[in-house]
A and B are shown apart, each in its own frame.
Chain A
Amino acid sequence: MEGLEQIKARIKAAVPGAKIDIVPNPSPANQPSLVIDNEHARDVARFLCDDPALRLDYCSNVTGIDWLDRSVKKTVKVKKVVDGEEKEVVETTEEKLPGYLEAVYHLYSMAHKHGPVIIRMRTADRAENACLPSLTPVWRSAEFQEREIFDLYGVRFDGHPDLRRILMWDEFEDHPMRKDYREPNDYEYEPTPHDDVLEKAKGHYTSRPAEEELKPS
């Protein structure tokens, strides 16, 4: 299979205007991936699926990621004139990066027996109605997994044929896989609490009556 750089170049040639970024993966897995822009995502997906050299006709897995807002601290050495003298001063700048939700697709080719090619799409923010284009029209196998991402992360997939919750009930309002989700506090009784469970169970403890009260008067 051709490399990601080559795939990126061919996508750009086939889908004019598409913005593609390569996300490197320095871990031992060494599986870099492509970030595709939402506007051209459907065309890019169609190209990956139909291109005779790639024929990525099988989407094995779709999953979501929640990236929280984060701030990156940068330290830069700047030369400044202090008291008529030129000195090197370390300046710290803090950059705030807004969080977003991400959908990751793992693509393989049944025809050519190669893969995976990993593509990602990112929402603009983590708002309630964050949306992405659905790739279910291209890979039918993405249908249930996009529903799962909708259920657990709250990403709306535009163009999905049947976007409903799949695991939780329809009346449920939260998105449990988001990192800021807090589950309901239902640890009324916990015989052997530990760690986080212990902290939660403590809220339900009744204090032991003092020894004076227990003594018969």
Chain B
Amino acid sequence: MSEGIDEGLRSKLQQQGVWVTSVQELYNWGRKNSIWPLQFGLACCAIEMIATAASRYDIARFGGEVFRPSPRQADLMIVAGTVTKKMAPQIVRLYNQMADPKYVIAMGACAISGGPFKQGYNVLKGIDRYIPVDVYIPGCPPRPEALLHAFMELQSKIDEQKLSGANKAAHLEPEEPSEFPVPEFGKHDLEPPANPNVFRPPATERA
């Protein structure tokens, strides 16, 4: 997918033993095959995440086996489980401490929308209220295959990132924020209840 190279010429050169590529392709290839997830779990989804990392499902086949116990060394945050309102500020803080480029997978119904706890008072109704999410996996909990699928989706997303131009990757845009405000504990709810710059729910039009 390297731009500016004719595919026919490229294949001909390859037949002669010359491999032509672009910096962008090499850069994305390197990053997508070595994603280091942040090692933390919040609920039962974390058990499936552990199974995904263990020998049977083996996320190492996709280059994601290096679970780091520090946000400073991680590229990917897998929000695996129920995010309570008491936990949400810590999740946002962990995200802020990760170095760019960074990605988020919202794993399971709770991390997406609050899931079965949506009608409760104490569960955050989706982590996308405070931080941008790249891939959502539904399920309660999602099976390890689903997490692997999400991982591959993320890889293809990374593969399509541009290094330059108008729609280049978010981490290369100086104006795009890489940190987001940490919500405060309020008297009745988190304040603010959602970050309007991140959380843009579709307007529900009903007659």
Residues of A within 8 A of B (CB): 167-174, 176, 181, 183-184, 186-191, 196-197, 201-202, 204-209
Contacts and interface: CB of A to CB of B under 8 A. Distances in A.
6 contacts: A168-B86, A171-B185, A181-B121, A188-B194, A191-B113, A197-B118
A205 B185 contact: no
Interface in B53-82: none
A205 B121 contact: no
A187 B199 CA distance: 12
Given A189-B201, A190-B204, 14 more contacts: A172-B185, A172-B186, A172-B187, A173-B188, A174-B188, A184-B188, A184-B189, A188-B194, A189-B202, A189-B204, A201-B204, A202-B206, A204-B204, A208-B207
Nearest to B184: A171
Interface string B162-198: 0000000000000000000000011111000110000
Contacts of B203: 206
B204 A167 contact: no
Question: Which DSSP category, helix, strand, loop or mixed, fits chain A's interface?
Answer: loop
B121 to A, nearest CB: 4
Contact of B121 (A171, A183, A188, A206): A183
Given A173-B187, A184-B189, A207 B207 contact: yes
Contacts of A188: 194, 199, 201
Interface of B: 85-86, 113, 118-122, 125, 185-189, 193-194, 199, 201-207
B33 to A, nearest CB: 35
Contacts of A183: 120-121
B194 A186 contact: yes
Contact of B119 (A171, A197, A209): A197
Contacts of A171: 185-187
Nearest to A170: B185
A42 B121 CA distance: 34
Contact of A208 (B113, B185, B201, B206): B206
Contacts of A167: 86, 122
A174 B120 CA distance: 14
A72 to B, nearest CB: 31
The 4 A-B residue pairs with the shortest CB-CB distance, nearest first, are A189-B201, A183-B121, A184-B189, A169-B185
A173 B113 CA distance: 25
Given A186-B193, A205-B205, A176 B122 contact: yes
Contacts of A206: 203-205
